[in-house]
Amino acid sequence: MPDFAHIQKMFTDRIRNQTAQSIDNIEDRRLAVYRELFFNNLESFIAGTFPVLKECLVENTWQDLIRIFFIKHACETPYFLEISEEFLHFIETDTQASAMLPEYGHSLAHWEWMELFADAYVETSNDEALRIEFIESQSSVLTSIECAWLQAYEYPVHKISADVEMNKEAAFLLVYRNSQDEVKFIELNPLSYLLFEAIKQNQSCTVEEIVSSLAVQQGLSIEQLLPGAIAIIEDWNQKKLLKVI
């Protein structure tokens, strides 16, 4: 007689996949009720995180994609909030799932997941107390708040929809959570992306030193870059994205 753990494994395998080994004395029509319940709950949760990706796929393809995830993937977390990250990892690594996506599918999925990540992120520092009212001078030593993340994509993921034909075009985006716990984003250009990256990684350099270093990297003079950089930094400061070290 099979032990209970073996019966449980057979039961869950059959719920995941109706082609798995049948279970004696349990009609599949009864298991189908559980199968549909689990699948619909999973699909609903994933669709809530990836609505645009779902919109960009035909209905049958979306359902098949979730079904493949349901059958093949063994989640390593018990937390519902982390199911979407598991799904993201799955479509990035599973050949069958990847083949079902448009060229921009991986980028779009990551972008949509970032909103959930930013919303659920737990801060480890008290950024609110450190935010500054204004930048006193170019000698200020600044870094970014903790809840700000840079993302670069091969496609303009923030503009993708089912109604728009999307061509490959680099997108540089800054995702952040503001003091009202709202997730926002800013579209950057390559230079402002590098500027924010330098500020985020900064530990001791002044604003002028950061801009000067960036100017050298880009083959520009400090005089060319500094006025525009200060204006951008002031805008970020108004959005409370910066703090004094």
Q: What mean pLDDT do residues 223-230 have?
A: 93
- What is the total residue count of the chain? 245
Residue 160 has what pLDDT?
96
Q: How many CB atoms lie within 10 A of CB 160?
A: 24
| Confidence (pTM) | 0.88
Residue 80 has what pLDDT?
83
List helix spans (H) across 51-189: 51-56, 59-72, 83-93, 95-98, 105-120
Q: What mean pLDDT do residues 112-135 have?
A: 79
How far apart, in Å, are the Cα atoms of 186 and each of 15, 75, 144, 171, 218?
43, 33, 14, 11, 22
| Residue type, position 187, single letter | E
Whole-number Å distance between alpha carbons of 16 and 36: 10
The answer to whether residues 88 and 81 touch, using CB atoms and an 8 Å cutoff, is no
Residue 129 has what pLDDT?
45
The proportion of the chain whose per-residue pLDDT surpasses 70, expressed as a percent, equals 85
- Residue 80's nearest CA partner among 33, 107, 120 is 120
Q: In this predicted model, what pLDDT tens digit does every residue of 2-23 receive, in sequence order?
A: 676 666 666 666 667 666 556 5
Q: How many CB atoms lie within 10 A of CB 94?
A: 16
Residue 106 has what pLDDT?
98
Q: What mean pLDDT do residues 154-174 have?
A: 94
- Which residue shows structure tokens 């960009």? 56
Is the predicted pLDDT of residue 27 greater than 90, yes or no?
A: no
Chain Cα centroid distance, residue 141: 29
Average pLDDT, the chain: 88
Is the predicted pLDDT of residue 1 greater than 50, yes or no?
A: no
Domains of the chain: 4-101 (1.10.150), 123-244 (3.90.930.50)
Residue 245 has what pLDDT?
82
Q: In this predicted model, what pLDDT tens digit does every residue of 28-72 receive, in sequence order?
A: 777 778 888 888 999 999 999 999 999 999 989 999 999 999 988
Residue 126 has what pLDDT?
73
